[in-house]
Structure 1
Amino acid sequence: MATQTTHPASHAETGKAASIGRQILTQIQFELLLTARRGENVLVTLIVPVMLLIFFTSLNIVPAVNGSPVNFLLPGILALAIMAAGMVNLGIATAYERYYGVLKRLGSSPLPRSGLIIAKVISILILEALQVIILVGVAMLLYGWKPAGSPLLALLAIALGTITFASLGLAMAGGLRAEMTLAGANALFLLFILIGGGILPLSHLPGPLAAIAQILPAAALTQALQATMTNGAAFPASALIILAVWAVIILLIAIRTFKWE
């Protein structure tokens, strides 16, 4: 009778993968705890998007989709919230963790560089889930918004957008000085507000600028959310493809260039 043997190396590899998985879960818990303790993070990621939604919806100065401005604004505000949480908050916080030596200490732990980045991206995904619940709740309670379109495709767009902008924040934090990350993240955020299509439609921009904006991740995320959250809208294939390409490229750049100190 033939006996089946297991190679010791396979046991070692399985044990190593399990250990890294536990380390990533521990780091996710740590990231969420730090986020909850930073008052400015809570303000920017949870409160400011709600204020923007209420302010612009109440003014009635944006296009009405299916009879209500909230149907146009909610996807755009969700996109801005994703950018703020991933690119601005996570990027700046990580840059200063690097500046103060926190990342150097993590670098001496068994947690690999890719594991740290994955843990930070997942923590932002969890935070984004809370943002979606709050913003959708406000839109439903105050403005009678009702779910429309394809929730699953909208969740896909949110996940791709979060990976893209969290990776962008981490790429800046891992390769630039803290002051440069602070300035760069805020400058990009302002640029994406202006040409991302979330508050000001791309059709209001000059032709050449609108063409450039179309291939940037901010407009792709906004257009994907607008289409997937609207009944009868065409499938946003190009927007999702552009967003997915940006997500893969920026994530790989962040993993390859991230420095602990």
Structure 2
Amino acid sequence: MSQPVATSNATSPLKRILAQGKYESIQMLSNGEQLILAVVMPLIALIVLNVTDLIEGVAERNIDAAVPGVLALCVISTAFTGQGIGTGFDRRYGVLTMFSTTPLGKAGLIFGKVIAVLTVLVIQVVLITAVGLFMGWHPNLAGIAPGILFLLLGAAAFTSLGLLIAGTVRPEATLAITNLAWILLAGAGGVLYPLSMAPAWIQPTLNALPSAALGDAMRDALISGHFSIAGLIFLLLWSAAASFAAIKLFKWN
């Protein structure tokens, strides 16, 4: 009898994380405000970039340069802003305090939220890809696998950053910080356009941001079929550092 019990206990942490991931996914998909941020805003960005000359010259056609950047923006919308705001207000209303009394733990909560982010991200990627193809997007097939890898690394990095902010400051501050960061990163963080289009004096600063690493790596992959080693290193470093900081500094209430 002791052997089955030991097996059950060994698998219970994974089951708890999967259950938490399911719960978080349902919460995100039932929140109208987060769906606007996750779906409507990226679609608007895709259309605007395609019909204007904001990214003219990045690729042969605007749509080929727009889709990789918008996919990167989807990661930030869901993993950083959406998770940050949701977690911040979960702290305010005592939801996280309830979780702190369970065996889930901080690491389990973070991994559960990563599952939810990936679930919503899959929906976003399918939608943006379908709309992009309808608008004439022709991705470089050699860059699809690297693109998926960079999306996953970006999701890990930005989920951890969102949880770090949500777990250390007040909900009102989290709301302000994550929304302002979303605007700044989308407009000037190298997400929707290459850093080479930014003023020379600010490029060294922007080069250190995970948003720039993600955006440029996605464009390198899906436009040219290149694998960005620099993007891989930067996203791995940001993921590791932000995850470590979130686990160490996260406060339940």
Fold-level match, TM-score > 0.5? yes
The Cα of 1:206 is off from its aligned counterpart by: 2.4
- Residues 120, 213 of structure 1: alpha-carbon distance in 2 compared, 3 angstrom cutoff: same
Q: Work out which of the residue numbers 49, 58, 63 in structure 1 matches 2:42.
A: 49
Root mean square deviation of aligned Cα: 2.0
- Residues 209, 66 of structure 1: alpha-carbon distance in 2 compared, 3 angstrom cutoff: closer
Give the whole-Å Cα distance in 2 for the aligned partners of 1:206 and 1:47: 29
The Cα of 1:14 is off from its aligned counterpart by: 4.8
> Contact 1:99–1:178 at 8 Å: present in 2 too?
yes
**Bigger mean CA offset, 39-48 vs 196-205:** 196-205
The Cα of 1:158 is off from its aligned counterpart by: 0.2
The Cα of 1:191 is off from its aligned counterpart by: 2.1
Q: Work out which of the residue numbers 21, 28, 33 in structure 2 matches 1:28.
A: 21
Give the whole-Å Cα distance in 2 for the aligned partners of 1:244 and 1:257: 20
Q: Work out which of the residue numbers 136, 140, 143 in structure 1 matches 2:133.
A: 140
- Residues 207, 61 of structure 1: alpha-carbon distance in 2 compared, 3 angstrom cutoff: closer
The Cα of 1:254 is off from its aligned counterpart by: 0.8
Task: Specify the SS of the correspondent of 2:142.
Answer: coil
Task: Specify the SS of the correspondent of 1:229.
Answer: helix
**Paired residue for 1:189?**
182
> Contact 1:57–1:73 at 8 Å: present in 2 too?
yes
Q: Work out which of the residue numbers 242, 245, 250 in structure 2 matches 1:253.
A: 245
Aligned residue type for 2:251 = K
Aligned residues: 253
Task: Specify the SS of the correspondent of 1:246.
Answer: helix
**Sequence identity, in percent?**
31
The Cα of 1:209 is off from its aligned counterpart by: 0.8
Aligned residue type for 1:87 = F
Task: Specify the SS of the correspondent of 1:109.
Answer: coil
Instruction: Confirm or deny that 1:202 pairs with 2:214.
Output: no
**Bigger mean CA offset, 135-144 vs 188-197:** 188-197
Matches for 1:174-253 after TM superposition, within 5 Å:
174-233=167-226, 235-253=227-245
**Paired residue for 1:70?**
63
**Bigger mean CA offset, 108-117 vs 57-66:** 57-66
Per-residue displacement from partner, 1:51-90 (whole Å, max 9, x unpaired)?
Answer: 2101220124322444210111111111111111111111
The Cα of 1:150 is off from its aligned counterpart by: 2.0
- Using the size of structure 2 for normalisation, the TM-score is 0.93
Give the whole-Å Cα distance in 1 for the aligned partners of 2:183 and 2:37: 14
Q: Which has the larger radius of gyration?
A: 1
- Using the size of structure 1 for normalisation, the TM-score is 0.90
Give the whole-Å Cα distance in 2 for the aligned partners of 1:150 and 1:144: 14
Aligned residue type for 1:253 = A
Give unpaired runs (5+ residues) of structure 1: 1-7
Aligned residue type for 1:259 = K
Aligned residue type for 1:40 = E
Give the whole-Å Cα distance in 2 for the aligned partners of 1:146 and 1:205: 24
Give the whole-Å Cα distance in 1 for the aligned partners of 2:137 and 2:117: 28
